[in-house]
Structure 1
C-alpha cells in the first residue's frame, strides 16, 4: 500500500457521512394537481376575559372532573327493610338536607349545588337546608348562580363556615338566612374586590374593564344588603384582601354566631339537643350534649 493511500485511510471517518437532502418548501403560488394551492389568512384570536374573585387559574386538563378533587369518596351502607343500600357520603348527607361547597367555586360546582338546592325545595319547600362552606372562592358568575338560587327558593338556607370562606365563599356565607349564619371557631373569612383579565382589541378590553367595574359595584351592594354595612366602608375594606377570624366576621355582619357544638336547628332528624353525649363527651359551651352517631348507616 502506498504512503498516500495509508494517509488517506488514517484521515478517513470510520462511518460514512450522509449529507441531508435539502427539503424544498412548497410554493403556495405553484399550481398543484388540482390548481393553485389556497393561501391561509391570519385570523386574530377572539378576546377572552376571566372574571373571578380569586387569582385566575389555567383550565384543568381534559377529562378533569370536580368529583375527583375529593379523592376516594367513602360509601355508606344503610340497612332497610328491603335490604342494604349503598350511598356515597355526599348523597347520604343530601338526605339530611346538607349541601357542601368544598374547594374552588367553578361552573361545575355551581351546577351541582344549584341542582341540589332545587331538589331539596321540591322535597319540602319549608324545611331548612344546611350549606357547609369550605372554599377559597372562584368564578364570580358561578358564585352568583348559587347566590341567586339561595334567594330564589322558599327554603331557608343555613350557612356554616368550616375551614375558610374566602372571596366568593364569603358572599355565600353572608347570604344565608338571617340569624342562621355561623362559623366554627377556627375558621377564617376573607373579602376582596373581584379580579379579572382580558385580551384582544383595545375596544374589547375597554368593554371588559367597564363590565368588571359594574360587577364590583353589584357585589358591594350584595354585601351591604346582607351585612348592614354602608357602601363606603365596604369599598374601603374590599380594596385589598381583608382576613377576619370568626369574631371579626360576626362584628362585620358576615355571620351571626360562632359555634363550637351543633345547635338544635342543625340537628339531623331523629336527634334532639337533649340527647346524651356520645363516647363520654361532656356538654358543650351552651350546655348542650353532643349528638350521637346515627345508628343505621355505617361507613365502609
Structure 2
C-alpha cells in the first residue's frame, strides 16, 4: 500500500512550468494545483486522511497573513539587471516599469491602500515592524503566545 504522504515511484510525473520556475509534479499534485481532487480505489484510512488534508489545504487558499511580534517587513520596487544594446535596455526598462505597476496594483488591492501611497512607498525600500505592517494591512494579525490560564501558572 502506498503511503499517502509519498507518491508511488511509479506515479506518473509531469513537468509543470509556471511563470517563475519549472518543477516536476505528480499528476495528482498538478490536479490539486488546479483545485481538483482525485480519489481512486477503495476508501481506507490512508486515502481518507489524504483527502481531508487536500480539502483543508484548498479551504485555506484564502489564508490569513501573520507576522511574529519582532518581524520586519519591507516592500520595494522591482528591479533587475539590464544589459545589451540601447534598444534592449529600453525594452527591459519598459518591462520593469510594467511589472512595477502590476505589483503596485496587487499591493493596493490586497492592502486597501491608495495606489498613490503604494507608488510612493515602493519607490525606495520601505520597512515596517509588525504593528506597522498590520496597520498597513500587509498582515492580518501578529502571532503572540496564547494567554496562560491561572491554574497552569501555579503548577
Fold conserved (TM > 0.5)?
A: yes
Aligned in 2, Cα 1:107/1:209: closer, same or farther, shift over 3 Å?
A: same
Give the Cα separation in 2 of the matches to 1:209 and 1:125: 43
Aligned counterpart in structure 2 of residue 285 of structure 1, from 144, 147, 152? 147
How many Å apart are 1:219 and its aligned residue? 0.2
Following superposition, the deviation at residue 128 of structure 1 comes to 3.9
Q: Counterpart of 2:17?
A: none
In the alignment, what sits opposite 2:138? 254
Contact 1:126 1:156 in 2 (8 A): no
How far residue 125 of structure 1 moved from its aligned partner, in angstroms, is 9.4
Counting only pairs closer than 5 Å after superposition, residues 205-220 of structure 1 correspond to structure 2 as 205-220=89-104
Q: Distance in 2 between matches of 1:231 and 1:125?
A: 38
Structure 1: tracts of 5 or more residues without a match? 1-81, 92-105, 130-153, 158-175, 262-283, 288-300
Q: Kindly indicate whether residue 106 of structure 2 is the aligned counterpart of residue 222 of structure 1.
A: yes
TM-score, with structure 1 as normaliser: 0.34
- Residue 193 of structure 1: SS of its match in structure 2? coil
Q: Which moved more, 1:204-213 or 1:183-192?
A: 183-192
What is aligned with 1:156?
Answer: 60
- Note if 1:107 corresponds to 2:24: no
Say which SS state the counterpart of residue 216 (structure 1) adopts. Answer: helix
Deviation at 1:236, TM superposition (A): 0.5
1:102 alignment partner in structure 2: none
RMSD: 3.3
Secondary structure class of the residue paired with 1:212 = helix
Aligned to 2:121: 237
Matched position secondary structure for 2:81: strand
Distance 1:246 1:156 in 2: 22
CA distance in 2, matches of 1:119, 1:187: 32
Q: Which runs of 4+ in 1 moved over 6 A?
A: none
What 5-or-longer segments of structure 2 have no aligned partner? 7-19, 38-50, 150-155
Report the TM-score, using the length of structure 2 for normalisation. Answer: 0.61
Q: Does 1:196 align with 2:80?
A: yes
Which of 1 and 2 has greater Rg? 1
Higher normalized strand content (fraction of residues):
1
CA distance in 1: counterparts of 2:129 and 2:104, whole angstroms: 21
The structure with the largest helix share of the pair is: 2
Per-residue Cα deviation, 1:82-126 (whole angstroms, up to 9, x for no partner): 9xx8x8xxx7xxxxxxxxxxxxxx736xx489x586288634698
Counterparts in 2 of 1:197 and 1:121: CA distance versus 1, 3 Å: same
Structure-1 separation of matches of 2:86 and 2:105: 29
Q: CA deviation at 1:184?
A: 1.7
